Amino acid sequence: MKKKKFDFRAALRRSSVPLMFIIICAICIPLSGLSANMLANEIVTRMGRNAFLILSLLIPIMAGMGLNFGMTLGAMAGQIGLILASDWQIVGVPGMVLAMILSIPISVLLGLFCGKILNMAKGREMITSYIMSFFINGVYQLVVLYMMGSVIPIKHTSIKLPRGYGIRNTVSLLNMRQKLDNLIPFSVKLPFFGEIRIPLMTFIIIALMCLVIVWFRRTKLGQDMRAVGQDMEVARDAGINVERTRIVAIVISTVLAGFGMIIYLQNMGNIATYSSHSQIGMFCIAALLVGGASVDKASIGNVFLGVILFHLMFIVAPRAGAAITGDSMIGEYFRVFVSYAVITVALVMYETNKRRAKSAEGKKLAEAQKGEG
């Protein structure tokens, strides 16, 4: 292999999104007037809260299926698990474990369905998984709003709507709140940042998950997935069951998203039954992209850089906006705008790169043919 020349422009293009965010944060942090201690604490909390969810996005990217907007499906499964566990009054970490186990069959079922549909819509997986999340949201509402309490027994009136069936807008997870984060109380004192509380157990789980992903890449299945992601036809010729591999990728992602949602919600301390999941997909995808990932390439490093940069922006933007314009709403809208804009830019860059690669390939082919002729 020839040594590649370091292409400065390509590198700059690749890291343009994180760079842009570093600049935004650098401007907004002083304007927000938040202390280093508070920012550090917030970032550490949000890292524990979100990292697992974002990790669930990596595997479908590996399999060439793009950003899995269908991770919302897993989030819904996780919420159903939590609602049931809290109705049965299983609390603390055991309650979380139970909710995770309950979420597995639901996630697997939804993942299978989603994977099957995505196999029928090759080439437009992202928009399909995106619409899928809306579609399943309808089913989720049917289950949670009408079947829980009437078909699925729900005992506690603190969870059930007064009309006798359906789940309330918010379900309190007070007896599960931050039980995992605080399982091993731990905090560090840093010279500049002061005392930072660290949700050690959550971090350990996230670290384990990272190891699992690294290991998974080397297994037969992981290799297959990468092959499918590179080129479906080549993979098929090599004897890989492409359809099955893609479905497995989505199932794994959905199950992990369910676990991630449970970790996320134990930190929040309550479930917004009808909205928690709908926003989570967008935030996680935006964060991953901010970390420098693209639609076809994402690493664990992207996850952590993304959480830090994206959430830093998220914390400081409203206050910075208020400081500049005197209206806190502007900052709120600004951060929403930035989240969407980042996804848009990343999608556009992915598509233009794909086209560029394609035309370069075509040129090469044409030249080769010329040489032969």
| Binding positions for other proteins, 262-321, rule CB under 8 A | 268, 272-275, 278-280, 282-283, 311, 314
Among candidates 266, 237, 265, 232, which has minimal Cα distance to 249? 232
54 and 303 Cβ atoms separated by less than 8 Å: yes
Stretch of residues binding other proteins (CB under 8 A), selected from 23-31, 183-191, 219-227, 345-353: 345-353
* Dihedral of alpha carbons 270, 89, 156, 77, sign: positive
216 binding other proteins? (CB under 8 A): no
Question: How many residues contact other proteins, by CB under 8 A?
Answer: 77
Task: Please report how many Cα atoms fall inside a 13 Å half-sphere around the Cα of residue 357, on the Cβ side.
Answer: 7
168 binding other proteins? (CB under 8 A): yes
328 binding other proteins? (CB under 8 A): no
Cα distances from 198 to residues 4, 44, 48, 63, 205, in angstroms, run: 42, 7, 9, 34, 13
Stretch of residues binding other proteins (CB under 8 A), selected from 20-28, 250-258, 298-306, 346-354: 346-354
Q: How far is the CB of 200 from other proteins (least distance, A)?
A: 20
342 and 289 Cβ atoms separated by less than 8 Å: yes
Stretch of residues binding other proteins (CB under 8 A), selected from 99-107, 185-193, 197-205, 216-224: 99-107
Q: Which of 22, 31, 121, 323 binds other proteins (CB under 8 A)?
A: 121
230 binding other proteins? (CB under 8 A): no
Our CB check for other proteins shows the closer of 194 and 269 to be: 269
92 is written with which tokens?
A: 């603390």
Burial of 209 (0-12, 13-18, 19+ CB in 10 A): buried
Q: Which of 3, 120, 220, 370 binds other proteins (CB under 8 A)?
A: 120
172 and 158 Cβ atoms separated by less than 8 Å: yes
Q: Which of 1, 2, 5, 123 binds other proteins (CB under 8 A)?
A: 123
Our CB check for other proteins shows the closer of 202 and 339 to be: 339
Q: How far is the CB of 191 from other proteins (least distance, A)?
A: 29
Q: Which of 101, 211, 214, 238 binds other proteins (CB under 8 A)?
A: 101
Q: Which of 166, 229, 291, 292 binds other proteins (CB under 8 A)?
A: 166
- In b/e form, how buried is each residue of 264-280, taking b as 16+ CB within 10 angstroms? bbbbeebbebbebbbeb
